[in-house]
Structure 1
Amino acid sequence: MFTFIDVFAGIGGFRRGCELAGGICIWSCEKDKFARQTYACNFDVDYHEFAEDIEDVDPKAIPDHDVLLAGFPCQPFSMAGRREGFAHETQGTLFFELAKIIKEKQPKAFLLENVRGLLSHNSRDTITTIIRVLNKLGYKVYPKIIDADGFVPQHRERIYLPGVREDVDLGWHELNGPWAEFEEDKFIKPPKGYVQLQHILEPHDLVPEKYTLSDAFMAALRTHKAKQAAKGNRFGYRICRSDEIAGALMASYAKSGQSILIHQGDHKNPRKLTPRECARLMGYPDHFKIPVSDYQAYKQFGNSVVPGVIWAIMHAMLPWSYRE
C-alpha cells in the first residue's frame, strides 16, 4: 500500500489506475470545473483536499506522499535556464509547479505523462530541460513511449516518465535498464489487438440517430479530405469497422468527431462514438459516471490517460513501495 497525490487530475485516469495497483489518494488538484464535476462524481474527495489551481497551492501545505502523479501540459521552456539554473529553467510553465512540489516533498517516486510530441518539442529542448531539472532534484528518470493498444482498442502512444529518488531501491537490474526488466517480467501489457472496437461498441439499433452524420456533414468531410490529399496530406476522417483498432481519441473529437467514425453499413452514413463508448475506448468501466454534456465528455475522455496503462506501470514499480 502506498499514498499518492493526483496533480492535473482531469477525470481521474491516473487515480483509477493507481488505486487498482493498491494506492491511496490523499490530495488532488484540477482546475477545469467540468472535469472536477466528473472527478467528484466518481471518487471520494470528502476525506482529502481537492485543490483547484495548482499555481495557488503552497507545496508545504500538500501532505507527504509516496508518489506524485501528473499528466502535465506541455508549454515552451525558457532557454535562459541553461545559464541560470532550476527556477529560471522552468519559470512560467506548469511543469515548474510540479518541480516545486517534488523539491519540497521529496516523494519516493513520480509518474508523469505527456503526448509523444514532447520528445521533439522545441527541438528536444523541452524534454531535455525536464529530465535535467528532475535529475538536479535527486531523481533518476526513465522515459518510455507506450502504446495503449492492447489495453484498449486504440493506437495511443504517449510518453511516460517514471522517476525514482536516488536513495530508493527498486531492485531493478541497472545493467539491463529498468524498462528491460519491466518488459521482460513486471510490465504486463496485453498483445496489440487484444481488444477491438466490437468489444466497446453499442449495438447499432441502440445508438440514437443524433450520432449518425448528416449527408451535408459527410459531404463537407469528403471535400476537406480531398483538398488535403491534393496537398499531399493524409488529414481527414477515418471510418472504422468493428474488427479494427481506432486511432487515438483526441480532445478535438468534441468539435469535429471525424477522427473516429463507426461504419454502419454501405447504405448508411457512419456515426460518432457515444460518450459511453469513448469511456470504454479509454478503459473506463460502465459504472463510471458521466455527469456532463456530450461536448464536455468528449473533451474529458480525449484528454485522459488510459487507467490500465497507469496500473501496469505502477505494478512494475511496486517493489519500492514495500521497502523502507
Structure 2
Amino acid sequence: MTASIKHEPRFRFVDLCAGIGGFHQAMGSLGGKCVGASEINEACIETYRLNFPDTHIYGDISEMENISQIPEFDIVCAGFPCQPFSKAGKQLGFQDRSRGKLFFSILNVIDSHPEVKGFVFENVRNLADNKANWSVICDELKARDFIITEDPLILSPSDFQIPQKRERVFILGIKAAWRDERMLPNSKITVNDLDLRRGSCSKTAALEVLYSDPANDAYVVSDDVEEALLAWDEFRGETGIKTIGFPIWLSHFGIGIKRDSDFFEAMGLSTMPGWKQNYLRHNRHFYQIHRDYIDRWVTRYNMLERNKLLQKFEWNCGEDAADIKHGLVQIRQSGVRVKRPDLFPTLVAMPNTPIVWDTVLGHFRRISPKEAARLQSFEDFYKFGGSDSQTYRQLGNAVNVEIARQLGKGLLRLIREERNDGE
C-alpha cells in the first residue's frame, strides 16, 4: 500500500480581522496554509467555519493574552475595521478606542513573530486621504524594518474586469531582510513592482453577472417599489431627462403653488445652504416647464402618498441606457438612483442591495446573494450562514478575493527564497 504524500504549503499566513475569509480564499488559491484567524462578529465566524472548518479562530486578537502562541507564519493578512476611517462614520481614526486601536494589535502580532516576511492590509479609501493617519501607519511599519507601499495603493474590482466600483486602499510590506533585490531594487513597493493583471469592464458588464441561476422571485421588490420605478421611467421619458445635472425632488417642486415667490418663502429659501438653494431653484424651474404633465402624473401614480425615498429621483445614465430597465437601480437615503449598466455601485454593509430588471421574471428584483458574492469574487460554492440580509452585510464588509489574490501573488514574487541575514 502506497503512503499518501503530504505536500508542504508554499507559505503560511495568519488571517486577522478576517471577516468571512476573503483573504483566506485568495491566499489558499496561491498555495498558502492558514495557521489561524481572528474575528469577533459571530455571523462572520459562522460563515468562516462553514468554509474553513479546520482553521482555528482566536476571536478578538486584542484580548489574546499570549499572541506568540499563534503558530509560525510568513504573511499577515488583515482587513482591520474600516469604520473609524470611513466617510460614513465619525472618522475618529486611531482615536476610536475600540476598533481604531486594532491596527496596533496587529502590530503586536507582528512583533511577537520575528519570522514574518510580509503583509497585506486592506481598508477604506478614506484612510489614505487623512495624512495624519496614513503617516502613523507608514511610520510604524517602517520602524519595524518593512519596505512598504508608501504611496497609497487604491484599487477597485472594476480595475480587474469585475463590474463593481469599490475603491479600497491596500497596504503591502516586505521585511527588508526578505526582499528579492532583483525584483524590488527600490526602498518602497510600487504598483509596477506587483505586476498586477488589470483590465477594464465593458459597457454592459454589470448585467453579464446576472441570470446564470434559475429565476427566483424571492428577490422581487414590492409592488409599491416597482410601481414607483415604472412611474419614474415614464416621467423620465415624458420630460426628456437625459443628462439633467441635479436630482429631482418632488418636495422641491411646489406642486399646487403658482407663484415662485410664495413657494420660496414657504420653503425658507433664504435660510438654506447654497447647494440646497440651487436644487430648490432648479426643481422649481423644471416643474414650471412641465407643470401640466407633472400634476397629472403625481395624481395618477399617487406619488405624494409614497415613501419619501421614492419621491426623489436621479438619472445617472446619460444616454447609455434606453430606459430604467436597462440601468442599475439603488434606493438610498437620497432617493431612487439609476446608474449605467457597466458597474454595480459599491456593496455596503447595510440593506441597500442593487436592483435590476429581471427579463425572465418580468419584474424588478434585488440581486441575489450569489450574484453579490460574484461581485466580491467569491466562488459559487462558497457557503454563507444566516439570513440573506446577513450575507449582504458580510459581503459588503469583505475584501474582494481577486484583488487580494493578485496582491498576494505580487507580494510573493518580491520575497527571496532564503533570508539574507546580512541586511
Alignment TM-score, normalising by the size of structure 2: 0.63
> Are 2:376 and 2:399, in contact at CA under 8 Å, matched by a contact in 1?
yes
Aligned to 1:238: 337
1:212-233 deviation digits (Å, cap 9, x = unpaired): 243158453332447xxxxxx9
Aligned: 1:251 with 2:349: yes
Identity %: 25
Aligned to 2:101: 93
Name whichever of 162-171 and 275-284 sits farther off.
162-171
Aligned: 1:63 with 2:66: no
2:36 & 2:345 partners in 1: Cα distance? 33
**How far has the Cα of 1:103 moved from its partner?**
1.6
33, 51, 70: which one pairs with 1:24? 33
What one-letter code is carried by the residue in structure 1 that aligns with 2:381? H
> Are 2:153 and 2:191, in contact at CA under 8 Å, matched by a contact in 1?
no
150, 159, 175: which one pairs with 2:169? 159
Aligned to 1:313: 407
2:78 & 2:50 partners in 1: Cα distance? 20
Aligned to 1:274: 368
Q: Would the alpha carbon gap of residues 176 and 33 (structure 1) be closer, same or farther in structure 2, given more than 3 Å must change?
A: closer
In structure 2, list runs of 5 or more residues that go unmatched.
Answer: 1-9, 85-91, 229-305, 315-331
1:86-132 deviation digits (Å, cap 9, x = unpaired): xxx999611111111112213110110001011124xx211111111
Aligned to 1:86: none
> Are 2:13 and 2:76, in contact at CA under 8 Å, matched by a contact in 1?
yes
Aligned to 2:148: 141
**How far has the Cα of 1:135 moved from its partner?**
1.4
2:390 & 2:400 partners in 1: Cα distance? 18
Aligned to 1:229: none
2:204 & 2:59 partners in 1: Cα distance? 36
Q: Would the alpha carbon gap of residues 97 and 151 (structure 1) be closer, same or farther in structure 2, given more than 3 Å must change?
A: farther
Aligned: 1:187 with 2:286: no
Larger Rg: 2
Determine helix, strand or coil for the equivalent of 1:167. Answer: helix
What one-letter code is carried by the residue in structure 2 that aligns with 1:301? L
Determine helix, strand or coil for the equivalent of 2:374. Answer: helix
Q: For 1:59-138, list aligned pairs within 5 A.
A: 59-74=67-82, 75=84, 76-77=92-93, 93-106=101-114, 107-121=116-130, 124-138=131-145
2:94 & 2:207 partners in 1: Cα distance? 46
What one-letter code is carried by the residue in structure 2 that aligns with 1:158? R
Aligned: 1:212 with 2:311: no
2:74 & 2:312 partners in 1: Cα distance? 49
> Are 2:19 and 2:48, in contact at CA under 8 Å, matched by a contact in 1?
yes
What one-letter code is carried by the residue in structure 1 that aligns with 2:383? K
Determine helix, strand or coil for the equivalent of 2:190. Answer: helix
Alignment TM-score, normalising by the size of structure 1: 0.81
Determine helix, strand or coil for the equivalent of 2:105. Answer: helix
Q: Would the alpha carbon gap of residues 204 and 313 (structure 1) be closer, same or farther in structure 2, given more than 3 Å must change?
A: closer
Determine helix, strand or coil for the equivalent of 1:114. Answer: strand
**How far has the Cα of 1:54 moved from its partner?**
1.4
Determine helix, strand or coil for the equivalent of 1:248. Answer: coil
> Are 1:108 and 1:168, in contact at CA under 8 Å, matched by a contact in 2?
yes
In structure 1, list runs of 5 or more residues that go unmatched.
Answer: 80-88, 227-232
Aligned to 1:322: 417
What one-letter code is carried by the residue in structure 2 that aligns with 1:250? V
**How far has the Cα of 1:269 moved from its partner?**
5.7
**How far has the Cα of 1:25 moved from its partner?**
0.6
**How far has the Cα of 1:263 moved from its partner?**
2.8
Aligned to 2:310: 222
Runs of 4+ in 1 over 6 A off after TM superposition: 89-92
RMSD: 3.0
> Are 1:212 and 1:271, in contact at CA under 8 Å, matched by a contact in 2?
yes
2:363 & 2:390 partners in 1: Cα distance? 24
2:101 & 2:366 partners in 1: Cα distance? 35
